Amino acid sequence: MKVLLVNDYAPQFGGAERMIFRLRHLLRARGHDARVFTSTAGGAADADYSCAGTLGSFRTLLQSANPHAPMAMRRAVADFRPDVVYVKLFLTQLSPLILPALGGRPAVYHAAWYRAVCPTGTKFLPDGRICQVQPGTPCYRHGCVPLRDWVPLMGQMALWRRWRGAFARIVANSEWTRRVLVEGGIEPVGVVPNGVPDVPQRAPLTSPPTAMFAGRLIREKGVDRLLRAFAQASLDDARLVVAGDGPERRPLEGLSRSLGLSGRVTWRGHDEPATLEAVSGAAWVNVCPSLWAEPFGLSTVEAAMRGTMTIASASGGSTEIIVDGVTGMLTPPGDVDALSQALRTSLMDRALAESMGAAARARAMTEYHEDLFADRVLAIFGQVVANAA
C-alpha cells in the first residue's frame, strides 16, 4: 500500500511530529511505501515532500489559507499516487486548502487535539475555564484570539467546514477528544489511541526521590502548580526535574526561587530524545499537572512504557490512560493541595512507585504499543481503500 502521511511540521520536537515519522518507519518495515508531506516551518529535511511554511508573523494568515500548500500537494499526489492519505496536523501551517488538492484520494484525519473545533486548539479560556461554546464571536469576546487573528481564523474554520468531506474517515486519539469533536458538530468520529515504541525497563529506583515534568513551558501545562505543590510537600531530600522550554520558563524559574526550591529543581531545557530518555529513567514519578484537558497524554504513555508511574490531572485523555491508584494517580486540575499529597505519597514510598510503574508498563504494552497502533491504522486504511474501490 502507498501511504502519504501529512503533518504541519517536520522537525521532531513534538509528539505529533515524532509519531508521523515513526509511523513512516513502521509502515515501511511492514513492506508499505510511506512518504511524509510537511511544511518547511522549522525545516523539512526529513520530509519526502514539502510546501512553504513559517513560524513568523505571517503564520496566522498562512495557516488560514496557505497558497503554496495545495500546489505542492497536487504535485506530491501526482508523483506518488498514494492509495490513501493520512493527515495528522494541517490547521497550523498547511491550511484547509490542501483538502481539495487531495484529488479525491481516500483520506483519514487523525485528530491529535481540538483544533478542528477551536481556533486555539485547547478549548481553554484565558481565565482558566474550559470553553463550552462553539467557535465564532466568543473566541474574540473571551480574549482567546486578538481581532487581527480572529478574522483569518474564522475564515479558516469556514473553509474547513466546506471541505471536511474530503476525509473518508475521522478518528480521534482518545475518547475524550472524540467527545469534544462530536460536541463541536463533527461526527461520526472513531478512536485510535496513539502508540509509543517499546523501550527497556528502567533500572530499579534509587535515591534521591525524583519527580519529573517533560513538556512545553506554557501556562496550560500547570507547571506553576507543580512547583507550589512540590514546595508544599516539604520533602527536603526529593528533587524535581523540569525538561522542556517555552515562554513561561523565566517566570517559572523566578517562582521556583521565591518558593525556596533553588538547588532542588533542575531546569534542563530542550533535550534530544535519547538524552531525555536517559534522564527520565531516574524519575520515581512522571507529573502532568495540566490545567487544560490534554487530548491524549503522550508523555504519560512514554513514562509508562519505561515503567514509571504518572500523577496527572483528572481530565482529558489521562483519565483513560491512568488507572487511578493502580498505574498512577489522578488529581483535580489546578488543585495544589491534592497534587502535593500525591507527590508526598509517591516520593515517600519507593515500593509503591515501583509497583505502580510496573502496572503502568504492563498496561502500556497491551494497550499503547506502537505495533498495535500501526495495526489499527492499517485496518482503517484497508477499509477506506476498499470502500473507495
Residue 13 has pLDDT above 70, yes or no: no
Residue 338 has pLDDT above 70, yes or no: yes
Instruction: Please give the share of the chain, as a percent, with pLDDT higher than 70.
Output: 100
Residue 389: band (very low, low, confident or very high) from pLDDT cuts 50, 70, 90:
confident
3-class DSSP assignment, residue 121:
coil
C-alpha cell at 156: 479558516
Mean pLDDT of 238-263: 95
Which domains are assigned to the chain? 2-195+369-388 (3.40.50.2000), 210-367 (3.40.50.2000)
* pLDDT at residue 307, as a whole number: 97
* pLDDT at residue 359, as a whole number: 98
Question: Per residue in 148-164, pLDDT tens?
Answer: 999 999 999 999 999 99
Question: 38 Cβ partners below 8 Å, 6+ apart?
Answer: 6, 7, 8, 9, 10, 20, 44, 47, 49, 50, 51, 53, 93
Residue 14 has pLDDT above 80, yes or no: no
Question: Per residue in 184-228, pLDDT tens?
Answer: 999 999 999 999 999 999 999 999 999 999 999 999 999 999 999
| Residue 296 near residue 194 (C-beta atoms within 8 A) | yes
Residue 362 has pLDDT above 80, yes or no: yes
Question: Exposed/middle/buried for 262, CB within 10 Å: 0-12, 13-18, 19+?
Answer: exposed
Backbone φ and ψ for 4, nearest 5 degrees, come out as -100, 120
Q: What's the mean per-residue pLDDT of the chain?
A: 95
Mean pLDDT of 341-366: 97
